[in-house]
Amino acid sequence: MQNQTTNNRFSISSIRLICESAECGQLTDEAALFMSNLVTQKLKSLIETAKKFCFHSKRKQLLNKDIDYALRALNMRPILGFYSKELIPFRFATGDGHKIYYYDEEFQPIELADVIARVNLPKLPQDIAIESHWLAIDGIQPAIPENPPPLTKEEQQLECVDPLNSKNLLFWTSKTNVLKKHVETVQIKQLATHELSVEQQLYYKEITEACVGSIEVKRHHALNSLAHDPGLHQMLPRLCVFISEGVKVNIVHNNLALIIYLMRMVKSMLDNPTLYLEKYLHELTPTVITCIVSKQICNRPEQENHYALRDFASKLLATICKNYNTSTNCLQTRITRLLCKALDNPNTPLSTVYGCISALCELGPEVKQALLVPRLQMIQERIRPSSPSQVSRISPEGRIMALLERVQN
């Protein structure tokens, strides 16, 4: 009976070996016997609990997850670490009646740094910190990313569609807030939407100078600010006038670089999710169309790539039509009618023809099928040279032929 009890117990020699490998020092016989009994009791309890999970799962084979559930149920520390599908580096040997497991020196140890370097770990989250910012200055909420925008995109759209109802809504909202506070001596300042604060004037000055300046880093930060900062709707009229007047002046002076910078400003404003630009389409749309159909944009059309600007402006025009075309304003219909009128004119320059075709291609396959395909033969006859070998791919005729091939495909 005593031998059977000894065989069912965790051996004392194993306890001593584990302690020696952990550098815990020599154990007395009483301590080794106590540790053996304790480990045996824990293992039996763990195996019995794992068997219960296996039985309730209606399985006959004990799995790793049963052991994990048992550890959690017994409030024991879970098993953590890597598991390897490859061969375990420990080898088995027998000698003098003892079972010995030894470490194979030929096996190369795994460096944890190499394992971590091969895994694409996510970025660490930022530490929790407290940051201070102005909630209001002289009763006016500053337009910074930490504060909500004064007018959401839906409120801007309501003001654009029905200004009277939007003003009444704002009036009754402010009146209700005053009644709730029961304040009788509050003086409400009249809103002057045409005036900008000193901070907004400084922001407008810095943004416009950076966007058309010569430093690319400042331009990148300024365009990123236009694309993501909320609360810019009060400066939209001035920004749109700046872009419109800038394109007019630089088209006359054939300054291609500044026109590209201004079109990048339009792109950033279109990408800003908090801005609603329908009230300013009468300035932005003609500006973009001018960059598409203008006869000459640069001083050296044969050397400078003004076709890239026409393609970029065509994509902006397609974005404007996609976001703001309605059955009321018929924006896309009016734009396509203007472009087709330029295509049908036999005196239209080839650079303008290229811009019109590029814009119609960006407006979608339906527009190409309805408006471009019937005019393919007319355009091909107009640009057809005396000998095809004389056409260069960088010439206006060659670029138009490349566009027409894309339409046909």
Per-residue pLDDT, averaged over 53-77, amounts to: 88
309 part of a folded domain? yes
Query: Where is average pLDDT lowest: 229-233, 250-254, 305-309?
Result: 229-233
Higher confidence at residue 254 or residue 184?
Answer: 254
Model pLDDT for residues 140-161, shown as the tens digit of each residue: 777 777 777 666 777 777 766 6
Q: Which residue has the tokens 């640069």?
A: 298
Per-residue pLDDT, averaged over 288-304, amounts to: 89
Higher confidence at residue 224 or residue 129?
Answer: 224
Question: What pLDDT does 105 receive?
Answer: 59
pLDDT-based confidence at residue 178 (cuts at 50, 70, 90): very low
356 part of a folded domain? yes
Backbone angles phi, psi at 357, to 5 degrees: -65, -40
Question: What pLDDT does 177 receive?
Answer: 47
Question: What pLDDT does 312 receive?
Answer: 94
> Domain boundary residue among 66, 83, 100?
83
Question: What pLDDT does 77 receive?
Answer: 81
194 part of a folded domain? no
> Domain boundary residue among 43, 61, 83?
83
Higher confidence at residue 41 or residue 409?
Answer: 41
Q: Which residue has the tokens 């002046």?
A: 249
Question: Which neighbouring-strand residues pair with 137?
Answer: 140
Query: Which domain, by its residues, includes 45?
Result: 12-83
> How far is Cα 206 from Cα 218, in angstroms, rounded to an integer?
9
Q: Could you tell me if 76 and 212 lie in one domain?
A: no
Higher confidence at residue 250 or residue 155?
Answer: 250
Amino acid at 87: L
> How far is Cα 263 from Cα 285, in angstroms, rounded to an integer?
11
> Domain boundary residue among 63, 83, 103?
83
Q: Please state the domain count of the chain.
A: 2
Return the exposure string of 311-350: e unless at least 16 CB atoms fall within 10 Å of the residue's CB, then b: bbbbebbbbbbeebbeeeeebbeebbeebbebbeeeebbe
312 part of a folded domain? yes
142 part of a folded domain? no
343 part of a folded domain? yes
Q: Could you tell me if 237 and 382 lie in one domain?
A: yes
Long-range CB contacts (within 8 A, 24+) of 55-61: none
Nearest to 91 by CA among 99, 81, 102, 82: 102
386's tokens: 């005396």
242 part of a folded domain? yes
Assign residue 385 the CATH number of its domain: 1.25.40.770
Cβ(259)–Cβ(247) below 8 Å: yes
**Is the pLDDT confidence value at 295 over 80?**
yes
**Is the pLDDT confidence value at 287 over 90?**
yes
**Is the pLDDT confidence value at 43 over 70?**
yes
**Is the pLDDT confidence value at 231 over 60?**
yes
> How far is Cα 319 from Cα 332, in angstroms, rounded to an integer?
11
Helices (H) and strands (E) in the chain, counts: 18, 2
What average pLDDT does the structure give for the chain?
80
Give, to the nearest 10 degrees, the angle between helix 29-56 and helix 64-73.
110
pTM above 0.85, yes or no: no
Amino acid at 344: D
**Is the pLDDT confidence value at 171 over 60?**
no
Model pLDDT for residues 375-387, shown as the tens digit of each residue: 888 888 887 754 4
pLDDT-based confidence at residue 337 (cuts at 50, 70, 90): very high
Query: Where is average pLDDT lowest: 82-86, 141-145, 257-261, 334-338?
Result: 82-86
Sign of CA dihedral 57, 61, 64, 70: positive
Nearest to 208 by CA among 250, 245, 248, 242: 242
Assign residue 77 the CATH number of its domain: 1.10.20.10
114 part of a folded domain? no
